[in-house]
Structure 1
């Protein structure tokens, strides 16, 4: 019988709890780019990514979408609907082949009541999301699209192993994806990326977008805040 020991959120559960709660869960394999849940879906279960990755999208108008982010192995989604019993607020689609564990809302709430450690982790997650959303709201309210692009590139990047002074965004997102992340048009992203490349601040490589002048992007973001 499967248990929940492979899901990091539940590391504090006892073996008995892990097995007992797992008996109410189901595991399913999804293909690449397969819909997992959609906006306004009335289901309230919580989904845990055992392997693979998903993208979370919110539709703000007909034909317009905003990418909220990606989640990979060890992450979970759907906990808000499980707590407040309201329809889904976002669309979740797999990016790669994924295996996902589905937990009924009633089981999830029981775990929160029985395990203060799990409940605290959920509260810390909510606090981190609120801080992130507050920052994104401020960026959309006060920064121009180009400054939002600089911020998003830095957010998506990691230190490049070949050169610790550089950062890399890998795999490289499409211009459309970047536009959907920052709420602008693809043409704006294309123009700004090309200018950054001409100025020598980024390099476009097959494996990703290399940010070779991190300090300059940070400086431009600061100027954007000062000029808002």
Structure 2
């Protein structure tokens, strides 16, 4: 009996020891969790911003001599690649597309180079007065006339890209040696019209006799002067 109690007491002591060891060896999860940073706390407390993770806009470009020369070089290179109507479409596009903006890429990708009127650049590009440091228009002469090349850029350090290539329309000069139009005489030099007599100078109309001067009408005999009526025989008395 005493042996059974000793075994039971030993088992109880072993169980208690195992329980204590399990409680003491469990890791403290709360203690191992890292402390939140100030930025994380601020992000949780403030409402989200859709643009918070977008990259910052590039600084504004500078309109200086180097920038203007880069615009001239890009316009001339683009016009040289554009004025190649003898090339196959794939070769033509391979030379032009790297110089185009995304908008121009969409606009010109289906162009048939055989329809381009110009075939060569004939002179140096010419700048025009700048209206913005983000835009530049360069005039490039070709064998088909002058073209205006519009260039755009996103900011400082960004390259110039072609936005549009447009032929410049010029006024048609008058033909040399053309005869002037017949000059119409000024109103003061116009020949006078046939004189129309004023109302007071009008010639007399055919004299019409005044009412008092009218000739006598055919005389109608008075009643007393009338001739006798045909006599009607009286009816015989009954």
The answer to whether TM tops 0.5 is: no
Higher relative contact order (CA 8 A, sep 6+): 1
Question: Of the two, which has the highest radius of gyration?
Answer: 2
TM-score where L is the length of structure 2: 0.20
TM-score where L is the length of structure 1: 0.20
Q: Greater share of helix residues, 1 or 2? A: 1
Q: Greater share of strand residues, 1 or 2? A: 1
